[in-house]
Structure 1
Amino acid sequence: MNFRTAINFPGNPGYIDHRQQILLLGSCFAENIGLWLQQRKFNVDINPFGTLYNPLSIAQSWERIVEGKAIIENELFAFNNLWHSYDHHSRFSGCDKKATLSLMNRRIEKSHRQVPNIDRIIITWGTAYVFRLKETGKVVANCHKQPASIFDRMLLSVDEIVSRWRDIIKYIEDNLPQCRILFTVSPIRHLSDGAHGNQISKSTLLLAINRLQQEFGICDYFPSYEIMMDDLRDYRFYDTDMTHPSKSAIAYITEILEEAYLSPESKEIASQWYKIQRALEHRPLMPDKDEYTIFLQHTLDKVMRFQQMYPYINVSNEITELNTRISQI
Structure 2
Amino acid sequence: MGQKLDYFKFQSLQNPFGILFQPLAIENLITNAINEKEYSEEDVFFQNEQWHCFEAHSKLSSPSKEDLLDSLNKQIKLTKKHLQESTHLIITLGTAWVYRAIETDTIVANCHKVPQKKFLKELLSVDEISQSLEAIFSLIKSVNPQVSIIFTVSPVRHLKDGFVENTLSKAHLIAAIHQVLNSNRFLSVAEGYFPSYEIMMDELRDYRFYAEDLIHPSQTAINYIWEAFKEVWISEEASKIMEEVDAIQKGLQHKPFNPDSEAHKLFLQKLSERQKKLQSRVSHLSF
From the superposition, tell whether residues 212 and 78 of structure 1 become closer, same or farther in structure 2 (CA, over 3 Å): same
From the superposition, tell whether residues 286 and 92 of structure 1 become closer, same or farther in structure 2 (CA, over 3 Å): farther
> How do 1:245-260 residues align onto structure 2 when only pairs under 5 Å count?
245-260=217-232
The one-letter code sitting in structure 1 at the alignment partner of 2:202 is D
Deviation at 1:286, TM superposition (A): 7.9
Of 244, 249, 255, the match for 1:277 = 249
Q: Which residue of 2 aligns with 1:49?
A: 17
C-alpha distance in 2, partners of 1:266/1:249?
23
RMSD value, Cα: 1.9
Q: Is the 8 A contact 2:83 2:140 kept in 1?
A: no
C-alpha distance in 1, partners of 2:208/2:71?
39
From the superposition, tell whether residues 94 and 303 of structure 1 become closer, same or farther in structure 2 (CA, over 3 Å): same
C-alpha distance in 1, partners of 2:68/2:130?
33
Q: Which residue of 1 aligns with 2:40?
A: 72
Q: Which residue of 2 aligns with 1:230?
A: 202
Deviation at 1:203, TM superposition (A): 0.1
Q: Is the 8 A contact 2:94 2:153 kept in 1?
A: yes
The Cα offsets for residues 134-181 of structure 1, whole Å up to 9 and x where unpaired, read as: 100111111111211111100000111111221321233344221111
Check if 1:143 corresponds to 2:111.
yes
Instruction: Calculate the TM-score normalised by the size of structure 1.
Output: 0.81
Q: Which residue of 1 aligns with 2:148?
A: 180
Structure 1 unaligned regions, length at least 5? 1-32, 319-329
Q: Which residue of 2 aligns with 1:327?
A: none
The Cα offsets for residues 171-196 of structure 1, whole Å up to 9 and x where unpaired, read as: 33344221111000000111111111
From the superposition, tell whether residues 285 and 105 of structure 1 become closer, same or farther in structure 2 (CA, over 3 Å): farther
The one-letter code sitting in structure 2 at the alignment partner of 1:182 is I
* SS of residue paired to 2:146: coil
From the superposition, tell whether residues 288 and 48 of structure 1 become closer, same or farther in structure 2 (CA, over 3 Å): same
C-alpha distance in 1, partners of 2:268/2:66?
39
Q: Is the 8 A contact 2:158 2:215 kept in 1?
A: yes
* SS of residue paired to 2:12: strand
Of 93, 111, 118, the match for 1:125 = 93
Deviation at 1:304, TM superposition (A): 0.4
Structure 2 unaligned regions, length at least 5? none
From the superposition, tell whether residues 70 and 286 of structure 1 become closer, same or farther in structure 2 (CA, over 3 Å): farther
C-alpha distance in 1, partners of 2:117/2:257?
50
Identity %: 40
Where relative contact order (Cα < 8 A, 6+ residues apart) is larger, the structure is: 1
Deviation at 1:291, TM superposition (A): 6.1
Q: Which residue of 1 aligns with 2:193?
A: 221
Deviation at 1:117, TM superposition (A): 1.3
> How do 1:1-329 residues align onto structure 2 when only pairs under 5 Å count?
33-215=1-183, 216-217=186-187, 218-219=189-190, 220-282=192-254, 287-288=259-260, 293-308=265-280, 310-311=281-282, 313-315=283-285, 317-318=286-287
**How many residues get paired?**
283
Deviates more, 1:203-212 or 1:273-282: 273-282
Deviation at 1:297, TM superposition (A): 3.2
C-alpha distance in 1, partners of 2:194/2:203?
14
Q: Is the 8 A contact 2:9 2:245 kept in 1?
A: yes
C-alpha distance in 1, partners of 2:90/2:176?
16
C-alpha distance in 1, partners of 2:136/2:214?
35
Deviation at 1:285, TM superposition (A): 9.3
The Cα offsets for residues 114-139 of structure 1, whole Å up to 9 and x where unpaired, read as: 33212111000000000011100111
From the superposition, tell whether residues 123 and 288 of structure 1 become closer, same or farther in structure 2 (CA, over 3 Å): same
The Cα offsets for residues 32-90 of structure 1, whole Å up to 9 and x where unpaired, read as: x2211121121111111011101100111111222221321221111110111111111
C-alpha distance in 1, partners of 2:264/2:40?
48
* SS of residue paired to 1:44: coil
The Cα offsets for residues 233-257 of structure 1, whole Å up to 9 and x where unpaired, read as: 0000000010110000000000001
C-alpha distance in 2, partners of 1:103/1:297?
39
C-alpha distance in 2, partners of 1:119/1:176?
9
C-alpha distance in 2, partners of 1:275/1:70?
43
